Structure 1
Amino acid sequence: MDNVTVRPVVHVSTCKICNSQAPLYGVADFNKSCEEARGRYLPLVGVPVYYHRCNHCGLVFTRAFDDWTKADYAQHIYNEDYVLIDPDYIDVRPASNAGFIRDFIKKGRDLKCLDYGGGNGTLARLLQEAGVDAHSWDPMDAAGSPSPSGPFDFISAFEVLEHTPEPVATVREALGMLSPRGVLVFSTLTIDHVPARGMDNWYIAPRNGHITLYTRRALLTLFEGEGYRVHHFNNNLHMALNHDPDWLS
């Protein structure tokens, strides 16, 4: 964690989605990870990460990484040790998501698909092997690969939104790649009922890069601002769309 600029902590911040007041919510050690839900703990590093919670839409977020570069993320979060705190991202999750997407788009013909935030590209490769016109692009790619040529009929963004320090800009970028009747299917765990010790929630995990956590109201506000409506399949899987495509009926 050397040579990284840390923002001063303020008691009340401004919500990154609705601009309402967001008081200080709690603090976590940088090494808090999602693996704690499985009883696996990393040694504490003594670097505090402060989170705020919006009084209006319930967004929980930190500004600790607002000034980070892609190189900072690559060095401190998405490094060779990332597999230790998210072992499923290599092949288990892409395989499961590929099966879901194949079933989801099975009524469509010649759909052009994009896995936004596709990481190592495994999901897109599995879809290509199944005959899908699939592409992968990750805005956190340190190499700075140019965004793919759209528009796309279907965009997936699995485990992406909780990683962005700029939710409005990220959603706007992803939706900007959709065709007029395209759909965005994304996963991020919504936390609507905050317990007294909310910072103990396993999903608030700076070491995983989980720096922006949503309620359903926060997602609704976020996508309505871009002219889209949101459908929730469950607390983790959601869909944003503007018009209903024929193949989805």
Structure 2
Amino acid sequence: MPQVVACPICAEATVDYGTQTVLGKYPADYRRCTSCGVVFVNGPTWLEEAYAEPINEEDSGLLQRCAVMSKKASLILAGERITKGRFLDWGGGYGTFSRMMRDRGYDFFHSDPFTNNLFARGFEDQPGTRYDLITAFEVFEHLGDPYAELAPTAARTDRLLFTTGILPEPAPAVDDWFYFGPEHGQHITLHTTESLRVLGERLGFQLATNGYNLHLYHREPLKAPTRLIFSDAVRTARRNVKRLVSIPAAKLADR
């Protein structure tokens, strides 16, 4: 009989989505939910090896990502009028983002039990503390049981700002999208906008998203400046800019 595997997000039925080799030697069995569309690895057996080094060698964009996200997070803190609040970077690696945000004047703290805190020492998370906003950059794709792993942290805030890549449509094969990351084996859950919406609903949040990689869970209505950041108009402008950048200069000159 075919294997029955429930979706880790919405508990609906899943179907086979393909296999590929992870870390050069482990077979990975991918499933896709027939309802929310999330793609996930069924029973990964290699995670201890994959996390021998928590920050994988392929993550060469870590510093640039922290720099970019420090600007975007600052806009959202200002938009929500919570710049004087207390904040936490969850799954924050070496503490780079927390340090950058503290250097900008924000009261940021750091949490990551799997990585040495090199840059935000003395500003570790205090269990039980509530935060005005929690960030979680490039974390969701690492979670095998997203609800169970997120729930304790989500309960400590009304706003959760995070990044994770959204499955393109049409959805790519498992060997045709870099975000599956078979070379490092750490990405085991690949989300759709719908799977993020359902997950957020289970956690008591609404979802704001740019439809690509930046998302904000929130319990109360967002302030107008924050709504603008995630608005359709801004999404359209971003797509138009990307389209222009992809046009060869010679063709632009002819216009």
TM-score under structure 2 normalisation?
0.75
What is the Cα deviation at residue 11 of structure 1?
A: 4.0
Contact 1:105–1:247 (CA under 8 A) maintained in structure 2: no
CA separation in 1, counterparts of 2:20 and 2:46? 19
2:134 corresponds to which residue?
155
**2:122 is equivalent to residue 130 of structure 1:** no
Distance 1:216 1:18 in 2: 13
Q: Distance in 2 between matches of 1:100 and 1:196?
A: 28
2:110–2:125 Cα contact (<8 Å) kept: no
Q: 1:46 aligns with which of 25, 30, 35?
A: 25
Whichever residue aligns with residue 66 of structure 2, its letter is P
The aligned counterpart of 2:69 is 97
Q: What residue identity is the alignment partner of 2:41?
A: T
Contact 1:15 1:54 in 2 (8 A): yes
Q: How does 1:196-235 map to 2 (within 5 A)?
A: 197-206=173-182, 207=184, 209-235=186-212
Give the share of equivalent positions with the same residue, in percent: 27
2:170 match = 194
Deviation at 1:104, TM superposition (A): 2.0
Stretches of structure 2 that go unaligned for 5 or more consecutive residues are 118-123, 227-255
Higher mean C-alpha displacement, 94-103 vs 159-168: 94-103
Amino acid in structure 2 at the alignment position of 1:131: G
Distance 1:192 1:147, change over 3 A: farther
Gaps of 5+ in 1: 1-9, 32-44
Q: Which residue of 2 aligns with 1:87?
A: 60
- Please state if 1:114 is matched with 2:88: yes
Q: Does the 8 A contact of 1:108 with 1:248 survive in 2?
A: no
Answer whether contact 1:51 1:62 (CA < 8 A) is retained.
yes
- CA distance in 1: counterparts of 2:186 and 2:138, whole angstroms: 10
Aligned 1:64-83 pairs, distance under 5 A: 64-65=43-44, 68=47, 72-75=49-52, 78=54, 82-83=56-57
Q: Please state if 1:164 is matched with 2:138.
A: no
Classify the secondary structure of the residue corresponding to 2:179: coil
CA RMSD of aligned residues (A): 2.7
- Give 1:164 deviation, angstroms: 0.8
Change (3 A) 1:196 1:62: closer
Instruction: Say whether the 8 Å CA contact 1:105–1:248 is kept in structure 2.
Output: no
Q: CA deviation at 1:73?
A: 4.4
Please say if 1:14 is aligned against 2:20.
no
Residues 172-227 of structure 1: CA deviation (Å, up to 9, x unaligned): 1221121xxx3111111111523463542221124151110111111111111122
> In 2, distance between residues paired with 1:139 and 1:194?
36
Distance in 1 of aligned mates of 2:72 and 2:216: 13
Larger Cα-atom Rg: 2
Amino acid at match of 1:19: A
- In the alignment of these two chains, the number of paired residues is 216
